[in-house]
Every structure is written in structure tokens, then in C-alpha cells.
């Protein structure tokens, strides 16, 4: 009698386990997928900290900020279609992300543009006259103003820069702070007192 009782009990237990694994959802629901987004400049270097990125799915779900590696991580995301939104250089960007069951971690790379600084020098006269052939530096980069008094520095990343030039035998400087929301180009103008003969 004991054997007769144990055999069907064992078989029923085995059949239940098989059915559970094949047809029933796991006892604890999955935690969801992970979305990792990397923000880099065209040369591949990370943008650094503090860019705000918001994840939407018909409504805001969560907001993250990039770390030192230019990375944001959204964890616990179920399958579906989402929108990642952020602002760069004063322009609003949106990106559609589709997440399915094919993998647990989804990685995306965003290449963001550099800045350009345009600085024009004029003699402080009426009317102002452009100052050509003026040597100008920006954190080690060198440039010369053209016939319109314009010097251009390109491929700049967010950060603090010092523009320097010599006028009247003295070095003059200007600090330029470029943040993630700074529009490009950064347009600057200087009016300098004319010197003897109209030269520096």
C-alpha cells in the first residue's frame, strides 16, 4: 500500500515540474532589460558628466545624467518602444529605442557635434574697421584674423577656454565657457583702441 501511494505521488510531482518549466511563467517576473547610452564626440572621446537624458514611453519614465564616461544607464525596462530625449547646443534631440526579448542589455552610441568659436576684431572707430593679420590663440590653438578681422576655431569640446592676443605690446585675454547647452557657433567680437599707424 505504501508503494502504491508513493508511485502516483512521485509521478504527479514530476509531471507538475515539467509543466511549470515549459508552460508557466517563472514564479518571479523578470526585472526587465537595461539600456546603456554612450555620448561621444566625433573623435570617440566621451562628453563627460551632467548631460540630462530622459526616457519616455508616452510619458516620462526616468531621467539620468551622463557619468564621467559619457554614459547613462536605464535599468528595469520592459520590452517596448521608447524615446530618449536630450538637449545639445540648444537643440532638442529625440531617438527611438525598440527593446525586445532578444537580449538583456541594449547599448546605443550617440555621436554629438563639436563647437566652433568665431571671434572678430575691429578697431574702435566710427565706422569700425576690421583688424586683419592679428595672431590669436585659444588654449594652444593658433589662428590669424582674415581681412574681415575674423578668426575661427573649430572642433572644440565643452570646457573653459582662454582666448589671447597681443595688442599695444600687452597680452589681452578673454575667457570662454562652453557648456552642453551653449549654441554653436560661439560668436564673439572685440573693439580695440587704434594704435600708432593702426597696428598692434
Bridge partners of 189?
120
What percentage of residues in the chain have a pLDDT greater than 70? 82
115-195 has the same fold as 31-111: yes
Report the CATH superfamily, name and number, of domain 31-111. Immunoglobulins (2.60.40.10)
**Residue in 76, 128, 126 with CA at minimum distance from that of residue 104:** 76
Grid cell of 68 as nine digits? 564621467
Sequence spans of domains, the chain? 31-111, 115-195
pLDDT at 120: 98
pLDDT digits (tens, 9 = 90+) for 44-99: 999 999 999 999 998 999 999 999 999 999 999 999 999 999 999 999 999 999 99
CATH class of 115-195: mainly beta
pTM here is 0.80
Model confidence pLDDT, tens digit, residues 5-34: 334 443 343 333 333 333 444 444 446 899
Amino acid at each position: 500500500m505504501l508503494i502504491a501511494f508513493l508511485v502516483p505521488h512521485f509521478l504527479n510531482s514530476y509531471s507538475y515540474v515539467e509543466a511549470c518549466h515549459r508552460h508557466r511563467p517563472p514564479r518571479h517576473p523578470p526585472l526587465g532589460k537595461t539600456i546603456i547610452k554612450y555620448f561621444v564626440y566625433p573623435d570617440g572621446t566621451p562628453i563627460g558628466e551632467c548631460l540630462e537624458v530622459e526616457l519616455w514611453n508616452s510619458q516620462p519614465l526616468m531621467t539620468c545624467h551622463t557619468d564621467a564616461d559619457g554614459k547613462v544607464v536605464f535599468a528595469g525596462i520592459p520590452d517596448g518602444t521608447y524615446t530618449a530625449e536630450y538637449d545639445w547646443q540648444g537643440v532638442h534631440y529625440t531617438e527611438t529605442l525598440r527593446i525586445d526579448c532578444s537580449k538583456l542589455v541594449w547599448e546605443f552610441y550617440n555621436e554629438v557635434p563639436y563647437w566652433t568659436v568665431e571671434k572678430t576684431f575691429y578697431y574702435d572707430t566710427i565706422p569700425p574697421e576690421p583688424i586683419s593679420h592679428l595672431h590669436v590663440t585659444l588654449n594652444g590653438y593658433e589662428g590669424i584674423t582674415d581681412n574681415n578681422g575674423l578668426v575661427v576655431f573649430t572642433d572644440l569640446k565643452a570646457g573653459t577656454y582662454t582666448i589671447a592676443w597681443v595688442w599695444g605690446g600687452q597680452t589681452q585675454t578673454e575667457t570662454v565657457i562652453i557648456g552642453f547647452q551653449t549654441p554653436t557657433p560661439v560668436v564673439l567680437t572685440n573693439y580695440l583702441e587704434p594704435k600708432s599707424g593702426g597696428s598692434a
